[in-house]
C-alpha cells in the first residue's frame, strides 16, 4: 500500500515535471478567480473551452513537427484553405455536404504532404518550406474565394455547434487530443518523430526512414490544421479568406509554452493543450477585466513570460 | 586462412571531394574470427567500416557478402545483410530512454502500436548480455559516456547479426566492462559470428583478435596474426618504432612552492566530501570504476557543474563555483569526457575549435587576433600531428582520434596551468599519445599541474606521479605511482567507502 | 452594476455595455472608440472595449465572453460581416441587444446599424478622382487587406464609380494592405511600370499618404490622389494640397451615435433599423469645415 | 601569377559556396529582366535598394541572434517602438531633434537587453522571450501613440531622404552592413556568437561567457531593429503604431534564405543581404508585372522555395 502511494506520488511529481506550464496556468486561473467572480463560472469556462479549441487542435498536429525538430508556419493558412475548399465544395460546386469535412481534411493533408516533400526530399529548411506554403496557400484561398467569405456546409457548421449542452468544438478537441497523444506516444510514427528530432544522425543510422518520418509529421500537421480550420469556420458558419491569419505564432507558442523544444526531441500533447489554455485564459481574463486593448497586449506578453518562467523556476528546484 | 569469407571488401577506394582517403584496400571477414583493423588516427579505419554499414558509398571496388557482390546504400540494407555496427561515435538519442534507444528503428509493434512490454524485455535482455545494470526507462542522456557506450553495444548485440563491427568500443570503458565485452565476443566467435574490431589498445588485439590488417594513410600495409609483438605492430602502423610509450619526466616542485590546486570538503549530490591537493609539476591520476564519480569531480572543479559545499582554490585564490569563465581566467583547463557533445563545435573549423579558449585573451580592443589564432592552432596541430587537409576544414570531417587531439590542443594553446583531463587520450593512437604525454611533461616542467581521470590503467601507471582511487563518489585511497599496480588500484576501486551507510547500489531498486 | 439584461424600460445608466471593435491599430477605429467612450461617459454607461485585432474568430471569442460577463448590451464593429452573425449567436441567445456600427452584420438580428456606406463611399471616391482628372487618364488602385469586407465593398464602389467614366483606365490594382509603408513601396514600384499614371485611388488614407510619399512633389500636381476615411493626417494632406480628396466617414460620430442608439434600445425606445451617418467628400474647398 | 589566378578563382568559388541564394537571386533578376524592360533601369534598382533597406538592416542584427542559435520575433515591434518614441521625443515632449535618433537606438537596445536577460538569465526559450516582447512592445507603442501616427523629427526624416542622388536608406544599409559584417567576423563578440550557436555546451566549457554573449546578440538585434524602424519612419515622415507589423517573418526569412541555420552556428551578413534582396526583388517584380494581389502571394511562395532550392541543389553539386 505504501509502495502504491509512493508510486502515485511519483507519478504526480513526474506529471508535474513533464507538464511544466501547468503551474503557470493554475496560478493564472487563481489570480483571475481572485480578480473577478465572472471567471470561474460554468458558462465562462465553456467559453474558454470553445475558444481554445482551434489553436489547440492546430497545435496538436504542430507538436509532431516540432518534436521532429521542424517548424510549420503554414498551419494558419492551411486551416483557411481547408475551410474554404470544404465550403466551396458544397457552395459553388454543389456537392454532398457530408463529404465536405473529408474534403477539408484531404486538403490539409495534401498541403502537409507538399511541405513535407519540399523539406524531406527538396532539402529545404522546414522554416522556408512552410513559409513558402504559408503564402502560397493563403494566395490560393483568396483565388478560390475571390476574396469573399463563403457559407459553410451544414456538416461543417455542425462542428461549430453544440450537442445539447456540450459544445462540439470541445468534443472535437478532446477526441483529437486523445488520438494525437496516442499516436505520439504509443505508435511507431510518434517514436520515430522523437528519434528524428532528438538525433537525426542516430535515427538514420538505426535504419529509421528519416524522410518518410518528416513527410508524415507534416501530413499530420496539415490534417489537424485542416480540422482546426473547419472548426473555426463552423463556429463562424462561414469560411473567410482571412481565416486564422497569424495563428501559426499562437500555435507554436502553445507548443513551446507546453514544454516542447524547437530544437526537437521533446514535446507532449498534454503540454500543448496547457500551452493553448494559458493563451486562451489570458485573453479571456483580460476581456473579463476590461483591460484596455493596448494594455492587454502588454499584459499578455508579461503573462506568457511569467507562465513559462514559473515552469523554468520549478524545474530548477526539482533538479537540485 | 579459410576459403570462404563472410564478407569481403575488394580493392575498395573512397574519396571525399578531391581527397582520396582509402586506396584499393582489400579485407576479409571470416565466420568465427575477429578481424582487427589497425592504424594511426586518420588512417581510414572508420571510413572503411562505414562503407560496410551503409553510411558511405565506396568510390571504387566491390563489397561481397557470401561471395556475391552487394550494394549497401543505407543502414537498413546493411542490417538486412546481417551486419550490425557499433560506430566510434555514439549514435543515441539522448532524450529517449535506454529501451527506446536499444530498439530504435525496429520498435516492436502491432499494427503500428508499440508493444512497450516487449520493448523493455528486449532491452533488458540486451543489457544483461553485456552486464549493464541500469533501468531501461532512464533517458540515455542521463547516463555517463561509459554507460552510453554499453547501451550502444547492447543495441548492436540485440540485432543477432552474422557480422558485427566494433569501432573502438572499448575506448570509453574501464577494465571490468572490457572484460564483460570480450566474454560476449568470445561467445559470438563460438557461434560463428564474423567480427571486425578496431582499437588503439594494443594489448586487446592479442587478447581477442585473430588477424590484423594494418592501414597507413588509407593504404593496406600488411596482414599479420594477432599475436604479433606489439613493437612490430607499432612499427607497421606508424612506420617507425616508439622507444617509450610513457615518457613521463617527473618535475618535482621546488620545496615550499604553493599548492596549485587545493580542494577541501567538496560535496555535490552523490559526490564527496572530497579533499585533495595538486602541486606544481605534479601529474595526479584519478582512477576508479565506471560511475565512481571522477567525471563529476572534474566538472565541479572546472566550474561546469555546481557543488553544494566545499571550497576550491587555485594558487591560494578561491575559485567561484559553477563558473567556467572564472576557472578559465584562473588558468584552469578542462578536457571533457565527451568530445562530441561537450568538446567540439562540429561545424566549425579545426582552427576555431582549437582557439575557443584564447579568443578573448588574445584579442585587442575586442578584435580577434585572427592571424595569431591560426598560427597557434597550426603549431599545436602540427605538434600533435593532427591529420587533416587544412586547418580550415570543419572538424566534423576529422577522424575521432584527431578530434580528441584538437580538444587537448585547445588547452595547451591556452597555456593552462591547472589541467583537468577526463580520459584525455580516448581514441588516440599510440604515437599521438606520446605527443600528448610530452606536452603534459612540458606543462608540468613549466610549473603547471595535471589532474587526470583515466580508465586506461597502463596510462595511469605510466604517467601519474600519484594515483587517487575513487569509489562511490569518494576518494578510497591514494597510491604512489612507483609502487602501484593494476591490482592494487582495482582493490581500492571496488572498496566500499560508504560502510556506515546501507550498501550503495544506485540501481538496486529496479532489480 | 447591471445584473440582468432584461430590465428593458428602466434607466440604463450604470449598465455595462461591450464595444467589440475590429481593430484599434488604425486611427479610424480609435476615433470611433473615442466617440463611443465620450458618449458613454456622458450618459453614465460603463463601456468595456474589446479589440479583435482584425480576426473574426477572436471577435467571436470576445462576443461569447460578453454574453456571460454581465453586459447589458453589445455594440459590434464587425471584423467581417458574414462571420459576425454566428459569433453573435451567443449574445442574441442570451437576449442581449446588439447594435452594429460601421459594418453590417449578416445572419443575426441587430437592433440597429449605424454606418456609413462603404459602397457609396467608394463610388464617391472614384467620382472625385475622375472629375479631378477631367474624366481622362490612367490610374492605379491601392487595395486594402485582401479578403477584408471593406476591401470588397470599396472595390465594388470604385467599379461603380469608374463605370461612368470611359476615359479613365485603371492600369493596375494591387494590395497595400491598408498600410502606409507598404503603399509607399507598392506605389513606387507601380510608377516604374506605369510612369504615365495621373491618379491614385486608395482604399484608405494611410495608403493614400504612402502613395503621396512615393510621388513626392508630383502629388497633387501631376498626380491626383484620393483616399478614404478622413483621418487627421488625411485632412492635413488635403489642406496641403497633396491629397486631392478623402471620403470622410466621421468615425467619432459613428461611435457616438452607436452608443446613443444603444441607450435608446436599453431604455426600450424604438430605433431606426438603419442609421446613416453622412459620408462626405472632403476636398480643399471644404476641409476647413472638418478640422476646426 | 597563375597561383594568384587560382587563388582568385578559389575565392569566387568559396564566395559562391558561402552565399548560396546568390544564384537564386541572379536567376530571379534575369527572369525579371526578360519579363519586363522596366526592371533593369537605374531608378528601379534604386527603388529596390531603398525598399530592401528596412528588412536588410533589421535582418543584419537578427543574424547575430540566429547565429547564436536564438530567434528574435520582436524585431518588427521594436522597430515600431523605437520609431514611435523617437517621434514622441520631439513631438509631444518637444525635445531637441538631433537626439531623437540616439533615443530611438537606445530604445531598441533596451528592448534587446530585456529579451536577452529574459532568455539568458531567466532561462526562457528565446522564442518565448521574444514573442512576449513582440506583444509587450507593440502594446507600448499603441499606448504611447494612442493608436495614431506621429510625425517624425527632421533628423529621422533625414534618414529617409536622399543625399543628392544617393538615397540615405541605401547609405545607412551599406554602412551598417559593413559594420555588422565586421563585428560578426572580426570581433570576439561575433566569434563567441558562432561558438555558442554551434554547441552551447562546448562553448561554455571553453570558458566563453555564454549568458553575456546571448544578451549581447539581443542588444545588437534590438539596436538594428531600432535603426530599421527609424529608417522606415523617416521614409514615411511619420511613425505609425502599426509600423513594421509582421516584418519579423520577413527578416527571419531573409536570414535563412541567405544561408543561416535556425539551429545556430551558421550565418553571414552578405547572405542575409542577399536573402533580403530576394524578397524585395520578388515584390518589386510582381508589382512591375501587375500580378493580381491574390496570385502575388502564390508566386512569392513559389519563388522563395525555388530561390532556396537552387541553393540546395548547387551545394549538392559542389559536394560530390
Ligand atoms: N566526411 C568526410 N569528409 C572529408 N574527409 C573525411 C570525412 N570523413 C573522414 N575523412 C577523412 O578521412 C580520413 C580517415 O578518417 P577515419 O575516420 O576513417 O580515420 P580512423 O582511422 O578511423 O581514425 P581514428 O583512429 O582517429 O578513429 C581522415 O583523414 C579524415 O579526415
Ligand atoms: N547505475 C547508474 N545508473 C545511472 N546513472 C548512474 C549510475 N551510477 C552512477 N550514475 C551516474 O552517472 C554519472 C556519471 O557516471 P560516469 O560513469 O560518467 O562516472 P565516472 O566516475 O566519470 O566514471 P567513468 O568516467 O569511468 O564513466 C554520475 O552522475 C553518476 O552519479
Ligand atoms: O472603415 C475602415 C477604415 O477605412 C480602415 O482604414 C480599414 O477598415 C475599414 O473598415
Ligand atoms: Mg575512427
Ligand atoms: Mg567519466
Residues of chain C with C-beta less than 8 angstroms from the C-beta of D41: 192
| pLDDT for D95 | 67
| pLDDT for D19 | 62
Give, using CA atoms, the residue closest to atom 11 of ligand 2: B291
Q: Which three cell numbers stand for residue B280?
A: 606544481
Ligand approaching nearest to the C-alpha of C23: 3
Q: Do B366 and D209 touch (CB under 8 A)?
A: no
User: Do B370 and B494 have their domain in common?
Assistant: no
Q: Is the pLDDT of residue B138 over 80?
A: yes
Q: Do D38 and C188 touch (CB under 8 A)?
A: no
Instruction: Return d(Cα B499, Cα C202) in angstroms, integer.
Output: 86
Question: Would you place residue C87 in the very low, low, confident or very high pLDDT band (cuts 50, 70, 90)?
Answer: confident
* End residue of a domain, out of B215, B238, B261: B238
Least confident window among B395-399, C105-109, D9-13: D9-13
The Cα-based distances of D34 to C179, D115, D308 in angstroms read 31, 45, 21
B336 pocket-lining for ligand 2 (C-beta < 6 Å):
no
* Buried/exposed code over C121-147 (b: 16+ C-beta within 10 A; e: otherwise): bbbbbbbbbbebbeeebbbbbbbbbbb
Ligand approaching nearest to the C-alpha of B200: 1
pLDDT tens-digit series, residues A49-91: 998 999 999 999 999 999 999 999 999 999 999 999 999 877 6
Distance from CA of B367 to the nearest CA of D (A): 4
* Buried/exposed code over C47-86 (b: 16+ C-beta within 10 A; e: otherwise): bbbbbbbbbbbbbbbbbbbbbbbbbbbbbbbbbbbbbbbb
Q: Which of A129, A133, A139 sits opposite D294 (nearest CB)?
A: A139
Q: Which residue, A46, A112, A27, A64, is CA-closest to A269?
A: A64
Assigned domain for B2 exists = no
Give, using CA atoms, the residue closest to atom 6 of ligand 3: C204
Question: Would you place residue D23 in the very low, low, confident or very high pLDDT band (cuts 50, 70, 90)?
Answer: confident
Q: Give the ipTM of the model, two decimals please.
A: 0.89
Q: Best residue in D76, D246, D249 to probe A by mutation, most A CBs within 10 Å?
A: D249
> Mean of the per-residue pLDDT values for chain A?
88
Question: Would you place residue A153 in the very low, low, confident or very high pLDDT band (cuts 50, 70, 90)?
Answer: confident
| pLDDT for B509 | 37
Q: Is the pLDDT of residue A13 over 70?
A: no
Q: How many CB atoms are located within 10 Å of the residue C153 CB? A: 21
User: Angle, nearest 10°, between helix axes D98-120 and D210-236?
Assistant: 140
Q: Is the pLDDT of residue D48 over 60?
A: yes
Question: Would you place residue C84 in the very low, low, confident or very high pLDDT band (cuts 50, 70, 90)?
Answer: confident
CA C23 to chain centroid: 11
Pair type for strands B332-335 and B317-318: unpaired
Instruction: Return d(Cα D23, Cα B252) in angstroms, integer.
Output: 63
The DSSP symbol for C242 reads S
B29 pocket-lining for ligand 2 (C-beta < 6 Å):
no
Residues whose beta carbons lie less than 5 angstroms from ion ligand 4? B 46, 88, 399-400
- If one counts the domains in chain B, the total is 3
User: Do B59 and B150 have their domain in common?
Assistant: yes
Q: Is the pLDDT of residue B17 over 90?
A: no
| pLDDT for B244 | 87
Residues of chain D with C-beta less than 8 angstroms from the C-beta of B17: 319-320
Summarize the confidence of residues B113-136 as an average pLDDT.
Answer: 94
> Mean of the per-residue pLDDT values for chain D?
89
A175-179, B225-229, B268-272, D297-301: which is most confident: A175-179
For A248, phi then psi, to 5°, come to: -60, -40
Q: Do C25 and D245 touch (CB under 8 A)?
A: yes
User: Do B305 and B172 have their domain in common?
Assistant: no
| pLDDT for D21 | 77
Distance from CA of B436 to the nearest CA of A (A): 31
Assigned domain for B153 exists = yes
User: Do B57 and B150 have their domain in common?
Assistant: yes
Q: Which H or E run contains D188?
A: helix D188-198
Summarize the confidence of residues D65-94 as an average pLDDT.
Answer: 91
pLDDT tens-digit series, residues A100-130: 899 999 999 999 999 999 999 999 999 999 9
Q: Does A207 touch chain B (CB under 8 A)?
A: yes
Q: Do B359 and D208 touch (CB under 8 A)?
A: yes
Assigned domain for B338 exists = no
User: Do B60 and B193 have their domain in common?
Assistant: yes
* End residue of a domain, out of B238, B257, B282: B238
Q: Do D204 and B304 touch (CB under 8 A)?
A: yes
Spatial neighbors of D177 by CB under 8 A, at least 6 apart, are: D56, D57, D60, D269, D273
Question: Would you place residue C7 in the very low, low, confident or very high pLDDT band (cuts 50, 70, 90)?
Answer: very low
| pLDDT for B201 | 93
Q: Do A147 and C107 touch (CB under 8 A)?
A: no
Q: How many CB atoms are located within 10 Å of the residue C264 CB? A: 17
Q: Is the pLDDT of residue A316 over 60?
A: no
Q: Is the pLDDT of residue A211 over 70?
A: yes
Distance from CA of D266 to the nearest CA of A (A): 13
Is residue B367 classed as helix, strand or coil in its secondary structure?
Answer: strand
Pair type for strands B113-114 and B109-110: antiparallel
Asked if residue B273 has a cis previous peptide bond (ω within 30° of 0), the answer is yes
User: Do B107 and B221 have their domain in common?
Assistant: yes
Positive or negative CA dihedral for C228, C230, C236, C239?
Answer: positive
pLDDT tens-digit series, residues B279-299: 999 999 999 998 899 999 999
| pLDDT for D91 | 66
| pLDDT for B70 | 96
Q: Is the pLDDT of residue C93 over 50?
A: yes
Ligand approaching nearest to the C-alpha of B174: 2
| pLDDT for B497 | 73
Rounded distance from Cα A10 to ligand 4 centre (Å)? 43
Summarize the confidence of residues B212-218 as an average pLDDT.
Answer: 95
| pLDDT for D274 | 95
Assigned domain for B341 exists = no
Question: Would you place residue C5 in the very low, low, confident or very high pLDDT band (cuts 50, 70, 90)?
Answer: very low
pLDDT tens-digit series, residues B478-500: 999 889 999 999 999 988 876 55
Question: Would you place residue B507 in the very low, low, confident or very high pLDDT band (cuts 50, 70, 90)?
Answer: very low
Indicate contact of C with D: 3+ CB pairs under 8 A.
yes
Q: Is the pLDDT of residue B435 over 50?
A: yes
| pLDDT for C240 | 94
Rounded distance from Cα B164 to ligand 1 centre (Å)? 21
Ligand approaching nearest to the C-alpha of B290: 2
Rounded distance from Cα B271 to ligand 3 centre (Å)? 68
Question: Would you place residue D153 in the very low, low, confident or very high pLDDT band (cuts 50, 70, 90)?
Answer: confident
Summarize the confidence of residues D127-142 as an average pLDDT.
Answer: 95
Structural domain that includes position B403: 346-414
Summarize the confidence of residues B37-48 as an average pLDDT.
Answer: 95
User: Do B441 and B313 have their domain in common?
Assistant: yes
For B475, phi then psi, to 5°, come to: -85, 115
User: Do B94 and B223 have their domain in common?
Assistant: yes
| pLDDT for C70 | 85
Q: Does C103 touch chain D (CB under 8 A)?
A: no
Q: Do D297 and A261 touch (CB under 8 A)?
A: no
| pLDDT for A62 | 98
Assigned domain for B340 exists = no
User: Do B218 and B273 have their domain in common?
Assistant: no
Instruction: Return d(Cα C219, Cα C197) in angstroms, integer.
Output: 11
Positive or negative CA dihedral for A75, A81, A86, A87?
Answer: positive
User: Do B232 and B246 have their domain in common?
Assistant: no
User: Do B25 and B139 have their domain in common?
Assistant: yes
Pure H helices in chain C = 27-43, 56-68, 81-93, 118-132, 149-163, 180-193, 205-215, 232-240, 251-266, 287-290
Q: Is the pLDDT of residue C285 over 70?
A: yes
Q: Which one is predicted more confidently, B467 or C55?
A: B467
* pTM (predicted TM-score): 0.91
Residue of A nearest to D136 (CA): A298
Task: Give percent above pLDDT 90 in chain A.
Answer: 59
Question: Would you place residue B158 in the very low, low, confident or very high pLDDT band (cuts 50, 70, 90)?
Answer: very high
pLDDT tens-digit series, residues B56-75: 999 999 999 999 999 999 99
pLDDT tens-digit series, residues C98-118: 999 998 888 888 999 998 888
User: Do B257 and B378 have their domain in common?
Assistant: no
Q: Do A187 and B74 touch (CB under 8 A)?
A: no
Amino acid at each position: 500500500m505504501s509502495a502504491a502511494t509512493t508510486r502515485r506520488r511519483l507519478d504526480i511529481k513526474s506529471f508535474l515535471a513533464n507538464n511544466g506550464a501547468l503551474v503557470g496556468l493554475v496560478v493564472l486561473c487563481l489570480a483571475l478567480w481572485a480578480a473577478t467572480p465572472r471567471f470561474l463560472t460554468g458558462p465562462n469556462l465553456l467559453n474558454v473551452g470553445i475558444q481554445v479549441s482551434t489553436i489547440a487542435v492546430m497545435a496538436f498536429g504542430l507538436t509532431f513537427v516540432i518534436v521532429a525538430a521542424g517548424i510549420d508556419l503554414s498551419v494558419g493558412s492551411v486551416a483557411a484553405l481547408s475551410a474554404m475548399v470544404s465550403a466551396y465544395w458544397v457552395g459553388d460546386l454543389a456537392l454532398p455536404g457530408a463529404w465536405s469535412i473529408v474534403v477539408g481534411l484531404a486538403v490539409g493533408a495534401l498541403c502537409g504532404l507538399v511541405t513535407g516533400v519540399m523539406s524531406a526530399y527538396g532539402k529545404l529548411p522546414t522554416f522556408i518550406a512552410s513559409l513558402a506554403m504559408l503564402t502560397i496557400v493563403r494566395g490560393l484561398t483568396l483565388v478560390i474565394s475571390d476574396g469573399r467569405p463563403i457559407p459553410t456546409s451544414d456538416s461543417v457548421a455542425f462542428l461549430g455547434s453544440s450537442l445539447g449542452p456540450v459544445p462540439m468544438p470541445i468534443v472535437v478537441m478532446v477526441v483529437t487530443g486523445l488520438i494525437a497523444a496516442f499516436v505520439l506516444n504509443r505508435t511507431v510514427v510518434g517514436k520515430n518523430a522523437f528519434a528524428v528530432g532528438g538525433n537525426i544522425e542516430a535515427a538514420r543510422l538505426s535504419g529509421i526512414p528519416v524522410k518518410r518520418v518528416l513527410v508524415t509529421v507534416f501530413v499530420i500537421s496539415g490534417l489537424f490544421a485542416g480540422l482546426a480550420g473547419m472548426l473555426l469556420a463552423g463556429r463562424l458558419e462561414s469560411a473567410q479568406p482571412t481565416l486564422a491569419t497569424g495563428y501559426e505564432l499562437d500555435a507554436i507558442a502553445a507548443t513551446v509554452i507546453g514544454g516542447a523544444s524547437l530544437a526537437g526531441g521533446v514535446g507532449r500533447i498534454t503540454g500543448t493543450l496547457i500551452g493553448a489554455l494559458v493563451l486562451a485564459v489570458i485573453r479571456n481574463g483580460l476581456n473579463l477585466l476590461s483591460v484596455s486593448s493596448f494594455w492587454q497586449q502588454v499584459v499578455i506578453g508579461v503573462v506568457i513570460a511569467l507562465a513559462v518562467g514559473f515552469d523554468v523556476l520549478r524545474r530548477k528546484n526539482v533538479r537540485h | 586462412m579459410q576459403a570462404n569469407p563472410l564478407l569481403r571488401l575488394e580493392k575498395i577506394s573512397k574519396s571525399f571531394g578531391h581527397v582520396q582517403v582509402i586506396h584499393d584496400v582489400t579485407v576479409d571477414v571470416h565466420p568465427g574470427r575477429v578481424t582487427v583493423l589497425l592504424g594511426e588516427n586518420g588512417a581510414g579505419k572508420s571510413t572503411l567500416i562505414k562503407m560496410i554499414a551503409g553510411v558511405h558509398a565506396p568510390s571504387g571496388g566491390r563489397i561481397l557478402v557470401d561471395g556475391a557482390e552487394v550494394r549497401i546504400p543505407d543502414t537498413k540494407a546493411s542490417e538486412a545483410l546481417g551486419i550490425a555496427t557499433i560506430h566510434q561515435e555514439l549514435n543515441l538519442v539522448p532524450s529517449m530512454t535506454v529501451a527506446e534507444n536499444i530498439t530504435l528503428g525496429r520498435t516492436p509493434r502491432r499494427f503500428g502500436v508499440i508493444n512497450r512490454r516487449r520493448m523493455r524485455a528486449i532491452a533488458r535482455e540486451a543489457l544483461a548480455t553485456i552486464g549493464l545494470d541500469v533501468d531501461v526507462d532512464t533517458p540515455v542522456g542521463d547516463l555517463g559516456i561509459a554507460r552510453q557506450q554499453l547501451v550502444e553495444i547492447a543495441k548492436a548485440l540485440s540485432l543477432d547479426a552474422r557480422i558485427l563491427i566494433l569501432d573502438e568500443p572499448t575506448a570509453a570503458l574501464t577494465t571490468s566492462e572490457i572484460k564483460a565485452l570480450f566474454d560476449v565476443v568470445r561467445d559470438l566467435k563460438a557461434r560463428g559470428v564474423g567480427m571486425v574490431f578496431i582499437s588503439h589498445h594494443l594489448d586487446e588485439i592479442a587478447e581477442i583478435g585473430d588477424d590484423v590488417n594494418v592501414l597507413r594513410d588509407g593504404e593496406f600495409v600488411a596482414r599479420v596474426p594477432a599475436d604479433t609483438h606489439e613493437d612490430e605492430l607499432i612499427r607497421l602502423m606508424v612506420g617507425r618504432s616508439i622507444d617509450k610509450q610513457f615518457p613521463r619526466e617527473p618535475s618535482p616542485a621546488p620545496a615550499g612552492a604553493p599548492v596549485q590546486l587545493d580542494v577541501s570538503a567538496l560535496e555535490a549530490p552523490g559526490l564527496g566530501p572530497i579533499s585533495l591537493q595538486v602541486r606544481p609539476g605534479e601529474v595526479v591520476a584519478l582512477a576508479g570504476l565506471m560511475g565512481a564519480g571522477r567525471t563529476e569531480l572534474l566538472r565541479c572543479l572546472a566550474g561546469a557543474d555546481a557543488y553544494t559545499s566545499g571550497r576550491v582554490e587555485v594558487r591560494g585564490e578561491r575559485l567561484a563555483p559553477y563558473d567556467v569563465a572564472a576557472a578559465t581566467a584562473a588558468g584552469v583547463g578542462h578536457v571533457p569526457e565527451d568530445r562530441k557533445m561537450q568538446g567540439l563545435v562540429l561545424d566549425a573549423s579545426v582552427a576555431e575549435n582549437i582557439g575557443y579558449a584564447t579568443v578573448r585573451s588574445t584579442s585587442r580592443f575586442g578584435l580577434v587576433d585572427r592571424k595569431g589564432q591560426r598560427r597557434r592552432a597550426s603549431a599545436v596541430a602540427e605538434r600533435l600531428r593532427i591529420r587533416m587537409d587544412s586547418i580550415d576544414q570543419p572538424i566534423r570531417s576529422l577522424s575521432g582520434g584527431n578530434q580528441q587531439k584538437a580538444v587537448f590542443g585547445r588547452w595547451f594553446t591556452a597555456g593552462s596551468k591547472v589541467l583537468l583531463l577526463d580520459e584525455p587520450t580516448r581514441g588516440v593512437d599510440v604515437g599521438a599519445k606520446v605527443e600528448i604525454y610530452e606536452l603534459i611533461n612540458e606543462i608540468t616542467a613549466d610549473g603547471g599541474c595535471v589532474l587526470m581521470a583515466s580508465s586506461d590503467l597502463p596510462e595511469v601507471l605510466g604517467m601519474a606521479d600519484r594515483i587517487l582511487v575513487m569509489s562511490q563518489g569518494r576518494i578510497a585511497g591514494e597510491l604512489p605511482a612507483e609502487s602501484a599496480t593494476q591490482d592494487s588500484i582495482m582493490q581500492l576501486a571496488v572498496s566500499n567507502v560508504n560502510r556506515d551507510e546501507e550498501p550503495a547500489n544506485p540501481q538496486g531498486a529496479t532489480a | 452594476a447591471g445584473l440582468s439584461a432584461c430590465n428593458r424600460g428602466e434607466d440604463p445608466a450604470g449598465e455595462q455595455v461591450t464595444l467589440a471593435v475590429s481593430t484599434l491599430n488604425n486611427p479610424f477605429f480609435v476615433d470611433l472608440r473615442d466617440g463611443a467612450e465620450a458618449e458613454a461617459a456622458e450618459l453614465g454607461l460603463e463601456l468595456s472595449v474589446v479589440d479583435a485585432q482584425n480576426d473574426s474568430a477572436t471577435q467571436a471569442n470576445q462576443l461569447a465572453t460578453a454574453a456571460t460577463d454581465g453586459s447589458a448590451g453589445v455594440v459590434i464593429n464587425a471584423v467581417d460581416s458574414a462571420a459576425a452573425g454566428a459569433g453573435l449567436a451567443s449574445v442574441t441567445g442570451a437576449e442581449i441587444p446588439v447594435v452594429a456600427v460601421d459594418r453590417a452584420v449578416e445572419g443575426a438580428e441587430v437592433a440597429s446599424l449605424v454606418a456609413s456606406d462603404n459602397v457609396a463611399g467608394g463610388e464617391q471616391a472614384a467620382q472625385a478622382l475622375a472629375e479631378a482628372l477631367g474624366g481622362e487618364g490612367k490610374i492605379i488602385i491601392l487595395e486594402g487587406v485582401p479578403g477584408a469586407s471593406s476591401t470588397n465593398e470599396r472595390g465594388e464602389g470604385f467599379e461603380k464609380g469608374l463605370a461612368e467614366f470611359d476615359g479613365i483606365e485603371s492600369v493596375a490594382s494591387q494590395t497595400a494592405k491598408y498600410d502606409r509603408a507598404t503603399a509607399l513601396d507598392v506605389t513606387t514600384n507601380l510608377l516604374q511600370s506605369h510612369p504615365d499614371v495621373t491618379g491614385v485611388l486608395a482604399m484608405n488614407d494611410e495608403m493614400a499618404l504612402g502613395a503621396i510619399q512615393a510621388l513626392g512633389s508630383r502629388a497633387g500636381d501631376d498626380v491626383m490622389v484620393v483616399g478614404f476615411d478622413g483621418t487627421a493626417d488625411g485632412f492635413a494632406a488635403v489642406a496641403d494640397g497633396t491629397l486631392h480628396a478623402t471620403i470622410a466617414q466621421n468615425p467619432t460620430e459613428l461611435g457616438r451615435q452607436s452608443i446613443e442608439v444603444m441607450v435608446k434600445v436599453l431604455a426600450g425606445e424604438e430605433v431606426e433599423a438603419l442609421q446613416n451617418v453622412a459620408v462626405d467628400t472632403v476636398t480643399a474647398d471644404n476641409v476647413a469645415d472638418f478640422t476646426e
